Structure 1
Amino acid sequence: MSPQPDASRRANALPKKIFLVALALALLSLAAFELCGATLAELFSADAFGERLGAARSYGWLLGMALLLVDLLLPIPATGIMTALGMVYGFWLGWLFAATGSALAGIVGYALVRSGGDALAQRLAKPAELQAFRALFERWGALAVIGSRALPILPEVMAVLAGLARMRFGHFLAALLAGTVPVSALYAWWGASHGREAPASSFLIAVLLPLVLWAIFLACYRISKKDS
């Protein structure tokens, strides 16, 4: 029997060390949440943070965007920040500030790993494994990035993996915006319309909506390519 199928399966599997890095990042985020998540959730809930933004309206939007960026390192409740921005600045400005801050966090995380991640990636995987991992991420990474944007912990992990995989920046940016723009719009709209914390059920909508929109976009794109 030829050994090629086994070799092919090994090359196309996610390298274990890269998986362990992703798992370690997720566990660190969970540990940070256990240590200070409850305090941060209380400080930066939509209601509590909305009051602070209202008192510092002229520059509060900068604080909101900075907190969304800090979400790379600390378990900041990003949905509460986005909702508060909508409460204080209305839907359109709240959406702009929320989407910009969240997208910047993803870009910074990706860029930091992409710029210095080659040496790390080569230590974590053999060349064949690394090539297969990058091809896998190029094919499915966009869906993973989109689906992670409304969830805790996963956005940071996916940005790191995208950087390690050297995912094309244009491809990463499109997926990042496809996941970030609808999610930030949802929470900014809720804050502007209802003036309070978004309900837990909105998480499901925030995850599914970008994926549905991306599927529609891809379908329309494929149809247009066939017709051209």
Structure 2
Amino acid sequence: MRLLLWFIAVSVLILVSWLLWGGSLEKSFSLEGSVAWLVKAGPWGWAAGIGLLASDVVLPVPGTVVMSALGYVYGLAIGGLVASAGCIAAGVCGYGVGRLIGEKAARRWLGDADFEKGKLLFARGGGWMVAVSRSLPILPEAISCTAGLVRMPFGRFMASLVCGSLPVGYLFAWIGVAGRETPGWALVFSLLAPAVLWLAAKKWLR
């Protein structure tokens, strides 16, 4: 129960951040604004893009728009790679936030029973949650923070994070290259592709 309350609390904080600053950031980082921002950064535009995506942990940055801008500026191959790296960086930052809370403090907040349940949940099924959530709003940050809090094995977390981030990064980079609005099937692809990759990765990890 306490683990659920923690997850809800983190999600609410992210939602409040979106309500307070999301509108202004969406105006600043429209596709045209994001492209201009990356071009202005010059040869370090790729690093600026990664930093911008990583900051999504604490700021309501429209990540899919930034990934599309990276595709527009750098093309599918490089833009997709940079977008995926930014998505991975955001997940690692979220995981790190959770790990910054010491295990003793986490056990006090959650209670030993909920901490152990959460640890078991993320050790067994956390990979699916991390991989499939990367294209969704709010959930990626909340899941990454919770994974860190309950000490999901880092190697397993990274494997699932990569499986979720690569399809999403390249998909939205392609949308930027094609100069299209996000098509309806893109959401389906961004959910199914990470699930298929994680299924393959699980077999490899074993």
Give the alignment's TM-score, normalised by structure 2.
0.90
Residue 127 of structure 1 is matched in structure 2 by 112
Residue 11 of structure 1 is matched in structure 2 by none
Does structure 2 conserve the Cα–Cα contact (< 8 Å) formed by 1:86 and 1:188? yes
Q: Which residue of the other structure, out of 70, 79, 83, is the alignment partner of 1:94?
A: 79
1:181 aligns with 2:166: yes
Does structure 2 conserve the Cα–Cα contact (< 8 Å) formed by 1:71 and 1:78? yes
Does structure 1 conserve the Cα–Cα contact (< 8 Å) formed by 2:135 and 2:191? yes
Higher alpha-carbon deviation: 116-125 or 130-139 = 116-125
Does structure 2 conserve the Cα–Cα contact (< 8 Å) formed by 1:86 and 1:95? yes
CA deviations over 1:65-111 (Å, ceiling 9, x no partner): 11101100011110000000000011111112111111112112212
Q: CA deviation at 1:176?
A: 0.5
Q: Which residue of the other structure, out of 148, 152, 168, is the alignment partner of 2:137?
A: 152
Does structure 2 conserve the Cα–Cα contact (< 8 Å) formed by 1:95 and 1:184? yes
Quickly say closer, same or farther: Cα 1:36–1:129, change in 2 above 3 A: closer
Does structure 1 conserve the Cα–Cα contact (< 8 Å) formed by 2:133 and 2:191? yes
Give the greater-gyration-radius structure (CA): 1
Distance 2:176 2:101 in 1: 38
Quickly say closer, same or farther: Cα 1:114–1:27, change in 2 above 3 A: same
Cα RMSD over matched residues?
A: 2.1
Unaligned runs of 5+ in 1: 1-15
Does structure 1 conserve the Cα–Cα contact (< 8 Å) formed by 2:41 and 2:48? no
Quickly say closer, same or farther: Cα 1:58–1:22, change in 2 above 3 A: same
Residue 151 of structure 2 is matched in structure 1 by 166
Unaligned runs of 5+ in 2: none
Residue 60 of structure 2 is matched in structure 1 by 75
Equivalences for 1:23-34 in 2 at 5 Å?
23-34=8-19
SS at match of 2:151: coil
Deviating above 6 A after TM superposition, structure 1's stretches of 4 or more consecutive aligned residues are none
Distance 1:210 1:63 in 2: 25
Q: How many residues align?
A: 206
Give the alignment's TM-score, normalised by structure 1.
0.82
1:195 aligns with 2:175: no
